[in-house]
Amino acid sequence: MFAEMFENVRKTCPLIHNITNYVTVNDCANMVLACGASPIMADDKDEVEEITTICTGLNINIGTLNARTIESMLLAGKKANELSHPVVLDPVGAGASALRTQTAFKLLEQVKFTVIRGNISEIKTLAVGAGTTKGVDADVSDRVTEENLDEAVSFAKAFAAKARCVVAITGAIDIVADANTAYCIRNGHPMMSSITGTGCQLSALTAAFVAANLNQPLQAAAAAVCAMGLAGEIAHSRLTEMDGNSTYRNYIIDAIYRLTPEALEKGARYEVR
Amino acid sequence: MFAEMFENVRKTCPLIHNITNYVTVNDCANMVLACGASPIMADDKDEVEEITTICTGLNINIGTLNARTIESMLLAGKKANELSHPVVLDPVGAGASALRTQTAFKLLEQVKFTVIRGNISEIKTLAVGAGTTKGVDADVSDRVTEENLDEAVSFAKAFAAKARCVVAITGAIDIVADANTAYCIRNGHPMMSSITGTGCQLSALTAAFVAANLNQPLQAAAAAVCAMGLAGEIAHSRLTEMDGNSTYRNYIIDAIYRLTPEALEKGARYEVR
Amino acid sequence: MFAEMFENVRKTCPLIHNITNYVTVNDCANMVLACGASPIMADDKDEVEEITTICTGLNINIGTLNARTIESMLLAGKKANELSHPVVLDPVGAGASALRTQTAFKLLEQVKFTVIRGNISEIKTLAVGAGTTKGVDADVSDRVTEENLDEAVSFAKAFAAKARCVVAITGAIDIVADANTAYCIRNGHPMMSSITGTGCQLSALTAAFVAANLNQPLQAAAAAVCAMGLAGEIAHSRLTEMDGNSTYRNYIIDAIYRLTPEALEKGARYEVR
């Protein structure tokens, strides 16, 4: 099934509008290209609606939000909703400042999202109004482990039901859930957290997958999460003892570029709960 | 001839002022350094005129334009004109939104450009007020091929005459033209379109080349386009079957860094029409 | 001693707030992660005080300053001072425009810095109100050499005394000084100047080192400067004849990622004057 999801990205080359942070934006663009889709970045209020109109998916990332771009996020999100385009939210650092938390809530109120992708602390902030965010990384006390996985799955499903969308909580174990079904995904490598923006890149990748698979957002998001994790594994296997996080960053994007739908299908490690 | 153009860049190390987008800005800076020039990025209205004054060339790229930076582009462009500094325009996504198209037209009205570099859809938008832009990439229906090359050359010369500057239309076949002469360049590799910002990088590189060769903007721009294409070929020849677009991005910049004037002269594949 | 400084970074994983330019921000984030610390980038006036509060160090870089971010720099800097967090200033291009010079002076007036790190031209601008800055690079006439090193050390100590902080002047020979003691550091490689942002990355790295070694800002800054230079040497030794500045950029970050405290201790080449 994931093979087909990925094939659809490569077949349809969806154009993805990204309103994202200036830290990881280049990697997001190259990641979207690597998977076979096409990125456009535009964040001015005077063009975001028009740009979203020519695209087939929208990715909103609040990583370096400001008053000017928040307005653009809201305008683009509403226009995408009007056009029934899928919209992904990456609530980077929700919980780390009132501005981030309130902006995330405002976006949730005014825009219907297809997928919300974040780490467990960010998603907890959205779900219960508070998380123990350590900056833009998940707090240790929040982390999803084999021990608390059932509980985390229930949490993810409940929040997905409440937010009426797919929720992707990524970490050592990833959970991609709607109200009824959760994919627990065990792809990936711990070293991915030593690169800035693997989460941002995954959100952009997810936007491409859901844009190419409009009727299956849960499966498409799960496929994107597996693809990213698998790329992390493949890239890690190439590292020499001299290579560090910068080369690893390049190799992960490379791995998505080289990944075939069949290899994704074969390499995806998940269970449905 | 191209060897000399490139030698002049390495000899004079021109300082290039870039007002560019936040997606590919780092690659643009490293590309300018790779060719032997020096980049400075500054986009605040309170300093752009002064920064342009200490530079020898200006590169304006509208990739992530906004009201604040549009004002800065106009100020810097006019100041560069006053000082007779060469100015390059990269009209990223012209045709994709009214804001981009109108900003490009406003820049063309108020600033005299030395070179305009874009894909065929962007240049058509500037020339005839409309193109079939697919986001920031050229539309398939617009593409320059061996079949429509004569027509495209005539179009490029006519637009160059109208805009009174050099026009560089890049794609599978590149056309660099002024009103009378066109270089048709066949360097490059299709995989270059799978990297974000090869066009932006080329515009920055072009600014360095025209700044170092003030009296020969047509030849300097053609040399820059050949250099970029040749770098794309050299970089591609290094790729292993595990490497993808991210490593390719690095290798292209590396190839410009290692490129010698002699290798450029020898590797340039062009005809004059 | 430097080994312990570095171990403290890896042990305490300080969260570093960066208000920095959009050119090199991604490399700064990956550099902070490479050394074992954690970066957060936030530049909106409505959140910078709160973000700084959850961090343990602040890095202010004026590389692409504008009215909006200057306000944020001042707010964050004052808040960090209130909380006794270490603050690093990177006065990129001070001397290249009045806006940069005046902003640097305003920051020095309103914020107490722990370390100021820049090239000799930038630091001269701050010290005497004028430097012969060539854009964002040091002017040749300013450069620190074996011949003028004693004079440069005196200058660094005098400015450190005046600014009541540690001053790190980086170039072919680096000087890290407080009012009484100067480390003259001979690590590094000339090719580092062909990469955009090695200075910015070093400032971010320095913020991590001083945040993890609160009582020894001089030694911590010197350790960071040695680490960066050593990484430049290690990375250079890996380059093939096809590799250029882009691969070198990656390898430098990789080298910090792989660097051990022991290797830093052993590889650091400095004298105290």
Please report residues of A whose CB lies closer than 8 A to that of C73.
Answer: none
Q: Is C41 annotated as a binding residue?
A: yes
* C195 close to A (CB below 8 A): no
Please report residues of C whose CB lies closer than 8 A to that of B68.
Answer: 66
Query: Could you read off the pLDDT of C183-228 as tens digits, one per residue?
Result: 999 999 999 999 999 999 999 999 999 999 999 999 999 999 999 9
* The pLDDT of residue A130: 63
Dist CA A166 CA A219 (whole Å): 10
Q: Do C251 and A246 touch (CB under 8 A)?
A: yes
Report which of A138, A139, A123, A225 is spatially closest to residue A184, judged by C-alpha positions: A225
Nearest CB to C44; choose among A22, A99, A195: A99
Q: Which strands, in side-by-side order, build the sheet including B182-185?
A: B38-41, B15-19, B57-61, B87-90, B115-118, B166-169, B174-177, B182-185, B270-272
Two structure tokens written together for B88 = 């390059």
For chain C, which chains pass the contact test of at least 3 CB pairs under 8 Å? A, B
Nearest CB to B100; choose among A47, A234, A250: A47
Q: Determine the 3-state secondary structure of C41 from DSSP.
A: strand
CA max distance for chain B: 51
Contact B231, B34 (CB under 8 A): no
Nearest CB to B245; choose among A33, A54, A234: A33
CA max distance for chain A: 51
Please report residues of B whose CB lies closer than 8 A to that of C98.
Answer: 47, 50
Q: Determine the 3-state secondary structure of B47 from DSSP.
A: coil
Q: Do A64 and C55 touch (CB under 8 A)?
A: no
CA dihedral B217, B219, B225, B227 (to 10 degrees): -120
Radius of gyration over alpha carbons of chain A, in Å?
17
Two structure tokens written together for B263 = 């290798």
* A245 close to B (CB below 8 A): no
* The pLDDT of residue A131: 55
Q: What is the DSSP code string of chain A?
A: -HHHHHHHHHHH--EEEEE--TTTHHHHHHHHHHHT-EEEE---TTTHHHHHHHSSEEEEE-TT--HHHHHHHHHHHHHHHHTT--EEEE-TTBTTBHHHHHHHHHHHHHS--SEEEE-HHHHHHHHHS----BTTB--GGG---STTHHHHHHHHHHHHHHHTSEEEE-SSSEEEE-SS-EEEE----GGGGGSTTHHHHHHHHHHHHHHH-TT-HHHHHHHHHHHHHHHHHHHHHH--TT--HHHHHHHHHHHHHH--HHHHHHH--EEE-
Nearest CB to C26; choose among A26, A96, A100: A26
* The pLDDT of residue C139: 74
Q: What is the DSSP code string of A243-270?
A: --HHHHHHHHHHHHHH--HHHHHHH--E
Dist CA B68 CA B107 (whole Å): 14
* The pLDDT of residue C141: 76
CA C145 to chain centre: 20
Query: Counting every residue, how long is chain A?
Result: 273
* The pLDDT of residue C132: 55
pTM metric for this prediction: 0.97
User: Would the pLDDT of C231 be above 80?
Assistant: yes
* The pLDDT of residue A137: 73
Numbered residues of the known binding site of A: 41, 117, 170, 197
Q: How far is A45 from chain B (nearest CA, A)?
A: 8
Query: Could you read off the pLDDT of A108-150 as tens digits, one per residue?
Result: 999 999 999 999 999 999 998 765 555 667 777 789 999 999 9
- Considering only residues 63 to 102 of chain A, which have any Cβ-Cβ distance to chain B shorter than 8 Å? 68
Give the contacts of C232 (CB within 8 A, at least 6 positions apart): C187, C188, C189, C191, C192, C198, C252, C255
Q: Do A254 and B247 touch (CB under 8 A)?
A: yes
Q: Which strands, in side-by-side order, build the sheet including C166-169?
A: C38-41, C15-19, C57-61, C87-90, C115-118, C166-169, C174-177, C182-185, C270-272
* The pLDDT of residue B101: 97
Dist CA C211 CA A205 (whole Å): 35
Dist CA A269 CA A263 (whole Å): 12
Report which of A54, A19, A60, A59 is spatially closest to residue A35, judged by C-alpha positions: A59
User: Would the pLDDT of B135 be above 80?
Assistant: no
Element (H, E) at C252: helix C245-258
Contact A197, C26 (CB under 8 A): yes
What CA–CA distances, in Å, run from C133 to B186, C100, C173, C204, C231?
Answer: 40, 12, 18, 22, 26
Nearest CB to B247; choose among A15, A47, A250: A250
Q: Do C246 and B30 touch (CB under 8 A)?
A: yes
Element (H, E) at B159: helix B149-163
Contact B13, B56 (CB under 8 A): no
* The pLDDT of residue C78: 98
Two structure tokens written together for C24 = 């090199």
Where do runs of H (alpha helix) occur along B15-134? 25-35, 48-54, 67-82, 98-110, 120-128
* C257 close to A (CB below 8 A): yes
Numbered residues of the known binding site of A for ATP: 117, 170
Query: Could you read off the pLDDT of C13-22 as tens digits, one per residue?
Result: 999 999 999 9
Please report residues of B whose CB lies closer than 8 A to that of A41.
Answer: 21-23, 63-64
User: Would the pLDDT of B130 be above 80?
Assistant: no
Q: Determine the 3-state secondary structure of C18 from DSSP.
A: strand
Q: Work out the pLDDT band at A191, boundaries 50, 70, 90.
A: very high
Nearest CB to B26; choose among C24, C136, C250: C24
Kindly report the backbone phi and psi dihedral angles of residue B8, in degrees, each rounded to the nearest multiple of 5, phi listed first: -65, -35
Element (H, E) at B158: helix B149-163
Q: Determine the 3-state secondary structure of B197 from DSSP.
A: coil
CA dihedral A152, A157, A159, A162 (to 10 degrees): -160
Average pLDDT, stretch B182-190?
98
Q: How far is A242 from chain C (nearest CA, A)?
A: 7
User: Would the pLDDT of C255 be above 70?
Assistant: yes
Element (H, E) at B58: strand B57-61
Query: Could you read off the pLDDT of B228-240 as tens digits, one per residue?
Result: 999 999 999 999 9
The sign of the torsion formed by the CA atoms of C100, B209, B143, B253 equals: negative
* A40 close to B (CB below 8 A): yes
User: Would the pLDDT of A15 be above 60?
Assistant: yes
Dist CA C8 CA B157 (whole Å): 63
By C-alpha distance, the chain A residue nearest C68 is A66
Please report residues of B whose CB lies closer than 8 A to that of A13.
Answer: none
Q: Do A41 and B64 touch (CB under 8 A)?
A: yes
Measured CA angle at A235 (ends A234, A241), to 5 deg? 120
User: Would the pLDDT of B42 be above 90?
Assistant: yes
Q: What is the DSSP code string of C86-146?
A: -EEEE-TTBTTBHHHHHHHHHHHHHS--SEEEE-HHHHHHHHHS----BTTB--GGG---T
Contact C96, B51 (CB under 8 A): yes
Contact B60, B17 (CB under 8 A): no
Q: Which amino acid is it at C263?
A: A
User: Would the pLDDT of B138 be above 80?
Assistant: no
Please report residues of C whose CB lies closer than 8 A to that of A131.
Answer: none
User: Would the pLDDT of C129 be above 90?
Assistant: no
- In chain A, the N- to C-terminal Cα span, in Å, equals 17
The position carrying tokens 């405002």 is: A106
Q: Do B40 and C93 touch (CB under 8 A)?
A: yes
Nearest CB to B24; choose among A26, A34, A42: A26
ipTM of the complex: 0.96
Q: Which amino acid is it at C73?
A: M
User: Would the pLDDT of A262 be above 70?
Assistant: yes
Give the contacts of C163 (CB within 8 A, at least 6 positions apart): C108, C113, C116, C126
Q: How far is A1 from chain B (nearest CA, A)?
A: 24
Please report residues of C whose CB lies closer than 8 A to that of B234.
Answer: 242
* C249 close to A (CB below 8 A): yes
Q: How far is C57 from chain A (nearest CA, A)?
A: 12
* The pLDDT of residue B131: 55
User: Would the pLDDT of A254 be above 60?
Assistant: yes
Kindly report the backbone phi and psi dihedral angles of residue C149, in degrees, each rounded to the nearest multiple of 5, phi listed first: -65, -40
Contact B229, A241 (CB under 8 A): no
Q: Do A63 and C41 touch (CB under 8 A)?
A: yes
User: Would the pLDDT of B20 be above 90?
Assistant: yes
Q: Do A97 and C50 touch (CB under 8 A)?
A: yes
Dist CA C217 CA C177 (whole Å): 10
* The pLDDT of residue C134: 56
The position carrying tokens 């096809």 is: C242
Dist CA B63 CA A66 (whole Å): 19
Query: Could you read off the pLDDT of B50-97 as tens digits, one per residue?
Result: 999 999 999 999 999 999 999 999 999 999 999 999 999 999 999 999
Q: Work out the pLDDT band at C135, boundaries 50, 70, 90.
A: low
By C-alpha distance, the chain C residue nearest B36 is C194
Average pLDDT, stretch A176-192?
98
Report which of C94, C82, C110, C117 is spatially closest to residue C209, judged by C-alpha positions: C117
User: Would the pLDDT of B133 be above 80?
Assistant: no
Across the B/C interface, how many CB contacts are shorter than 8 Å?
Answer: 104
* pLDDT over 70 percentage in chain A: 97
Dist CA C58 CA C78 (whole Å): 11
Q: Do B34 and C246 touch (CB under 8 A)?
A: yes
Dist CA A125 CA A244 (whole Å): 32
> What does DSSP assign to residue B93?
T
Please report residues of C whose CB lies closer than 8 A to that of B46.
Answer: 67, 99
Q: How far is C182 from chain A (nearest CA, A)?
A: 32
Contact A68, A241 (CB under 8 A): no
By C-alpha distance, the chain A residue nearest B101 is A47
User: Would the pLDDT of B134 be above 70?
Assistant: no
